[in-house]
Amino acid sequence: MPEIHRGQLHKMRSRLDNPVSYFMVLGEETFALNTLIGKKLTLEFLGQINCVHCGRNTNKSFNQGYCYPCFQKLAQCDSCVISPEKCHYDAGTCREPVWGDEFCMQDHIVYLANSSSLKVGITRASQVPTRWIDQGAIQALPIIRVRSRQQSGFAEIIFKRHVADRTNWRNMLKGDVEEINLEDERDRLMGLCEKEFEDLVHQFGLHAIGVLNGVEPVSIDYPVEKFPEKVSSFNLDKDPRVEGTLTGIKGQYLIFDTGVINLRKYSGYQVALATD
């Protein structure tokens, strides 16, 4: 099977087309993936992992691509990235204030999405619609815009008392997710959370917390010829070779007739890709 390319794996890039256009990143090379759907592919782990931040060799990847020293010291690996309400930038204890300026102290969007079912989520405004695609959402609706990541975390806490904040990745990959009227769900949640939301606005001010009115839901279609009936995932740490016919791409997953693999999980792994 002829080799296409080899190099350090990174998360797939995407573009909101109909269907979504996907691009694999191996080292310095980026190439289209949609044209490979329907072909037999082999993805082989070459036994080397390099940190996505500093490039050093590491025996184990932490937090999707980092070596242990970077995982321990970088602000982007801090627990407040996962739990933004714990942001300590204003306390002056951020590990990397410059990174915090660029990542946390920027406008964020609180949104509703339908990936495996209804969920609430947050993302930087600059990451719309990439974040929705990465989660495999078939529908998404921005509902609130805030001035910082911490504020988005506070808003998310209010809503996730009534709706999930996680995606069931197995259900997302089965392809039988039913559509939801996100505008109705937004109105329902805003009604349920009216008092808590008013308190949040009072705390930070109208200039910082704003409801997004008149925004239309976004529908997202993925390049999938066939969804798996039973979802089983490949693990490059246990079996370095993934082989099968590529039947689709959704979220950060390649879907084969033999199983699925989350490419983002293996960021930093040196791999070779081959096709017939």
Per-residue pLDDT at 276:
83
Q: Is residue 1 very low, low, confident or very high in pLDDT (cuts 50, 70, 90)?
A: confident
- How many angstroms from the chain centroid is the CA of residue 50? 21
| The pLDDT of residue 14 | 98
* pLDDT above 80 (res 222): yes
Residue 212 predicted with pLDDT over 90: yes
Return the number of other C-beta atoms located less than 10 Å from residue 84's C-beta: 21
- Cβ 182 vs Cβ 114: under 8 Å: yes
Q: What percent of the chain has pLDDT over 70?
A: 100
The pTM is what? Answer: 0.95
156 touches 197 (CB < 8 A): no
Distance CA 156, CA 199 (A): 14
Instruction: Give 32's strand partners.
Output: 23
The answer on pLDDT for 69 being more than 90 is yes
Q: How deeply is 103 buried, as exposed, middle or buried, from its count of CB atoms within 10 A (0-12, 13-18, 19+)?
A: middle
Assess whether the previous peptide bond of 19 is cis (omega < 30° from 0): yes
pLDDT average, residue stretch 132-158: 97
Q: SS in 3 state form for 230-252?
A: CCCECCCCCCCEEEEEEEEEECC
Amino acid in position 5: H
- Angstrom distance (rounded) from CA 27 to CA 33: 15
What average pLDDT score do residues 23-35 get?
Answer: 95
pLDDT for 3: 86
By DSSP bridging, strand 241-250 and strand 253-256 are: antiparallel
238 compared with 1, residue with greater pLDDT: 238
What angle in degrees, to the nearest 10, is found between the helix axes of 149-159 and 194-204? 160
Measure the CA–CA gap between 22 and 267, rounded to whole angstroms: 16
Dist CA 89 CA 103 (whole Å): 11
Q: Average pLDDT over the chain, rounded to whole?
A: 96
Residue 208 tokens read as 């910082």
pLDDT at 167: 94
